Structure 1
Amino acid sequence: MRYILTEEFNLKHTLECGQFFRWKNINDVYYVHNRDAFFNVYQEGAKLFYEGADGNFIKRFFSLDENLPHIINTFNKDKYISEAVRLYRGLRIIRQDPWECTVSFILSAASNIPRITKNLEDISRLFGKKVSLNGVSSYSIPAPGAIRDEKRMRENKLGFRSKFIVAAEEMALDGILDRIKGMPYREAEELIMTIPGIAEKVADCILLFSYGYMETFPVDTWIRKIMTELYFDGKKVPDKKIREFATKYFGRYVGYAQEYLYIYTRNHWDRIRELRGRQFNSVEPAVFSNVAAGRL
């Protein structure tokens, strides 16, 4: 089986951090979808073994060409983000297929990871193509134009999201996802938000996880909790203010900071609250005072 030598890469953290939903772990081997590609990967130390795809695809998909130590150094600015990095070092932002990522995050509205995963599997089973590798079978995400059946999706409990998937499909066929590539971030965000069912958080997830806009900072329930808890003294603030602060504080790779904070918060919220209660007033006082004064 072929392998790639990697540095600063953790396959488990990268696939299981919540940025991507189309994978299954079977006996410590991950079977992964990306549009029509279906491949498996597993990691032993610095060796990343793969089958069903070529090495260049694997490197690009997992962003193995990025200088992760440099990226981390740009946003590793306080003890909380440092702990997130220590626990989940090697997590990289995946370069997902834009259509698959769009469908995934439209389905994420008012949902959770198990349900999103199931909804994606249902859409793929209903409209996609069967694929197999080493006796493991699954279904690829249907291409734009292969769905067009809101009623059938609703019958399979996809609910109100069904109409948004159909609308997104029509706009994808018109080329909207191709036009986004290379646009300035705000223009790209405005354009993708013209797709029904895509508000700012979903737009930012798609732009970060498939187009590589590292200046995005998607704010969901978990990010809202940790940002207000750590950087706004527990006070409720608008998501816009959270994004503005995060962009100025964490810098050009704020999208990476978001993903480390997200997985840290999901898995260690009680620990974060414990640290805050004991040490909050003595940690990075300049940062918190600047937040309160509106200087960051």
Structure 2
Amino acid sequence: MVELIFSGIFDMVKTFECGQIFRFETIDFGKTYFGALHDRIIKITQKDPHTLIFSSNINSNLEKLLKIFFRTHDNYLDMQKSIKIDNLMKKVVDFSNGLHLLNQDNFECSISYILSQCSNIPRIKRNLKDLGKLYGKQVMFEDKEFFLFPTRSDLITVTEEEFRDLGFGYRAKYLRNFIKNYPSFFNEPVLDSEIFNQKLQNIEGIGQKVADCIQLFAYGDISHFPVDTWMEKFMIKFYNNGEKISKKKIRELGGTLFGKWAGYAQEFIFYYARNHPQFFPSKKKKKKI
């Protein structure tokens, strides 16, 4: 058993259900979570608002892996203070308090976000669950069945058609190409953030948003500010006087406003915006006559 103590509040539901990671599941409405971490399954329970307790089917090196995965080196309280740039962001931070960024496996994270394009959280979860069940290693832990995420070796012979049969649609082609031509630079340290980002975008099926998500969630570069539809709506409405600007400009604006903590600000805003859809009424398309 391992205990981790966090300086700020840790909310498991906000952290695991906010849309940054897709293969951690609760069995009791947020009191306990199970998930695969590299070569093992971990069970997470909450001791108090600042403390998590972990157990696993493999205990060797567990504490080290957990500290990396849960980013215990982040100064969470300084981050919150830094991104409270105005009254609106104070509301966002208070609402999202307890949400922590996670440092994910780069292969699993990359596949997750390739599959995330033009999709939604329930579908992404379903796609990844099906992928794990079919090609991942089965693990029994506490009398429950789990599946590790498939390795590249597990997936190297899977065809585009087989991915399509899993409901991946046009993403099947991108996934197949990514696995087949897995870039060597994925296993190298990131020396220049923007050069690495451009290398990611040179991979078929990875655009600006997916590249930013991979750098933020897999490589721990929390200066990145991925822009999806929710971010676009929020930033235009509240930080650009309602005037439409490009996603590139929004990305730059996020970096300017929030600096080195832009990734945290992005995830807090994303969580806040998704839970306040009334601020962003959808425009109904006029029927063609």
Same structural fold, with TM-score higher than 0.5 when normalized by the shorter chain:
yes
CA distance in 1, matches of 2:185, 2:180: 9
Q: Where in structure 1 do 4 or more consecutive aligned residues deviate above 3 Å?
A: none
1:135-284 superposed matches below 5 A: 135-147=143-155, 148-149=157-158, 150-172=160-182, 174-179=183-188, 181-270=189-278, 272=279
Moved more, 213-222 or 143-152: 143-152
Percent of aligned positions that are identical: 33
Contact 1:22 1:34 survives alignment (8 Å): no
Which amino acid counterpart does residue 23 of structure 2 have in structure 1?
Answer: R
CA contact (8 A) 2:233 2:280 kept: no
Structure 1 equivalent of residue 102 of structure 2? 94
SS in 1 for 2:152: coil
Structure 2 portions without partners, runs of 5+: 282-289
**What's the offset of the Cα at 1:74?**
2.0
Query: Which digits, 9 at most, give the CA deviation of each residue in 1:9-68, with x for residues without a partner?
Result: 222221111111011101221001233331110113122111115222222211122111
Cα distance between partner residues in 2 of 1:183 and 1:75: 26
Q: Secondary structure at the match of 2:154?
A: coil
Larger CA deviation: 125-134 vs 205-214: 125-134
Asked if 2 retains the 8 angstrom alpha-carbon contact of 1:216 and 1:254, the reply is yes
Do residues 118 (structure 1) and 117 (structure 2) align?
no
Tell me the alpha carbon deviations over residues 247-267 of structure 1, each in whole angstroms, 9 at most, x when there is no partner.
Answer: 111112111110000000001
C-alpha displacement of 1:273: 5.8
Given that 1:35 and 1:97 are in contact with CA atoms closer than 8 Å, whether structure 2 keeps it comes out as: yes
Question: 1:47 matched to which residue of 2?
Answer: 51
Q: How does 1:12-31 map to 2 (within 5 A)?
A: 12-27=13-28, 28-31=31-34
Match of 1:58? 66
Q: Which residue of 1 aligns with 2:111?
A: 103
| Structure showing the higher helix proportion among its residues | 1
Q: How many residues align?
A: 271
User: Is the 8 Å Cα contact of residues 5 and 52 (structure 2) preserved in structure 1?
Assistant: yes
What's the CA shift for 1:183?
A: 2.4
RMSD: 1.6
TM-aligned CA distance change 1:187 to 1:50, over 3 Å: same
Measured in 1, the distance between the counterparts of 2:209 and 2:172 equals 19
Q: CA deviation at 1:225?
A: 0.7
Partner letter of residue 171 of structure 1? N
Name the CA distance, whole Å, in 1 between partners of 2:37 and 2:109: 9
User: Which sections of structure 1, spanning at least 5 residues, go unmatched?
Assistant: 275-296
Tell me, what secondary structure is at the counterpart of 2:43?
strand
Give 3-state SS (helix, strand or coil) of 1:247's partner.
Answer: helix
Match of 2:286 in 1: none
